[in-house]
Chain A
Amino acid sequence: MLSTLSQCEFSMGKTLLVYDMNLREMENYEKIYKEIECSIAGAHEKIAECKKQILQAKRIRKNRQEYDALAKVIQHHPDRHETLKELEALGKELEHLSHIKESVEDKLELRRKQFHVLLSTIHELQQTLENDEKLSEVEEAQETSMETDPKP
């Protein structure tokens, strides 16, 4: 009888211990469960954060690509500095050439005037020469008529 009693006590003690153990295991599991829930919530937040970041990054990429596309088109056109320099050089050439044109025109005017003077003096000389010839002809005619007159 004592042995069966002690056996019963022993099995009771065992089941009590197992019961304690199960309770503690349950607590442990609850703790782990809560921790996992927290980490899931944290992961959700991180995912949302990352999604926002992806959107932002995509926007940035889009802006960069738009910039690249415009830059490519702009590159096709010639550089502004070079065009300005070419414009300046052309302007200087234009000035230089206009100076030359002015001086040539002045010379031309001068020569024209000189020729005009020359031609008019030639004309005058011609006139005077013709006048002189006419005068000398008239004088000769008068002389011959005077010579023929006293003869008869």
Chain B
Amino acid sequence: MERAVLHAVPLGQMEVFQALQRLHMTIFSQSVSPCGKFLAAGNNYGQIAIFSLSAALSSEAKEESKKPMVTFQAHDGPVYSMVSTDRHLLSAGDGEVKAWLWAEILKKGCKELWRRQPPYRTSLEVPEINALLLVPKENSLILAGGDCQLHSMDLETGTFMRALRGHTDYIHCLALRERSPEVLSGGEDGAVRLWDLRTAKEVQTIEVYKHEECSRPHNGRWIGCLATDSDWMVCGGGPALTLWHLRSSTPTTVFPMRAPQKHVTFYQDLILSAGQGRCVNQWQLSGELKAQVPGSSPGLLSLSLNQQPAAPECKVLTAAGNSCRVDVFTNLGYRAFSLSF
């Protein structure tokens, strides 16, 4: 009896610590593997967990399939952003971008392939990297974050080619406009800037908070999320979620959502957005709310659509945010189940 009590105490502490960790966990970023069957999620403790979507979606899924296959400590600080290329997983958060091989991670060998740090102006503080963007045509990666610049890194050589300056405050989000290879960036200063990658110059600036239809001064002017469809752009955050026509820089539709949105994306003929509320909102381009599907986290920070052609059976929408759970929506109409750290 005594021995059992003695053993119980240290285990209990460990469990309590883990439970507290899970309670305070925030999942900032998600990324789907190139084969489409696995999902990586990065949290505020710097850990990355790999979930097997094919196992969780299969008909004989058990409780363990909803737990990560492998979890490893990737960064010292939170993992704010992740993207996947054909073979690598790139993660960034505390000022560095690290690369991992998907093949190795799936075999549970979690050793980083390389890590790079963009050239910061001051070496004293290391600004965080909030957003990563892949530019497939140039095979380069664009990083943006706390130092108000967009750094462009060549993926083959690892050199930092250019730094695009223009923002006056840190950058939250990036989006790629495919037709004319331009990058859109939105930041805390309330402006969405379009950069031409070939000339490395700022092509257009849209100051969202200056337009009356969408500005909400009580929320601030920060742009939290961006998505673009070549001719159109959706952005939201402090100002209301608005659809813009890029060529004429006019706001065309304001979506009536009071809560600031943290992630938005175009999907078929809908716009999906998620933010401070519990739900994933589906909007039509005309401004009508088509559906609001509640998730399990009190606030959502990232959405990920698995559209990899190699795994059509894993075509799901996953949403994660202020909790340790990743909601999986197989059909956009309801939440099927949740994966959990």
Question: A: which residues have CB within 8 A of B?
Answer: 55, 58-59, 61-62, 65-66, 68-70, 72-73
Contacts and interface: CB of A to CB of B under 8 A. Distances in A.
Interface residues of B, number: 13
Interface in B2-28: none
Contacts of A68: 285-286
Interface in B236-256: 243, 245, 248, 250, 252-253
Interface of B: 231-232, 243, 245, 248, 250, 252-253, 268-269, 284-286
Given A65-B284, A66-B232, A73 B252 contact: yes
A65 B245 contact: no
A58 B231 CA distance: 17
Contacts of A65: 269, 284-286
Given A66-B285, A69-B253, A73-B250, 11 more contacts: A58-B268, A59-B268, A59-B269, A62-B269, A65-B269, A69-B245, A69-B252, A69-B286, A70-B252, A72-B253, A73-B252
A54 to B, nearest CB: 9
A72 B254 CA distance: 12
Main DSSP-derived SS at the A contact region: helix
A85 to B, nearest CB: 25
Contacts of B248: 73
A62 B285 contact: yes
Query: Which has the most chain A C-beta neighbours within 10 Å: B253, B284, B285?
Result: B285
B286 A58 contact: no
A70 B269 contact: no
Given A65-B285, A66-B232, A72 B268 contact: no
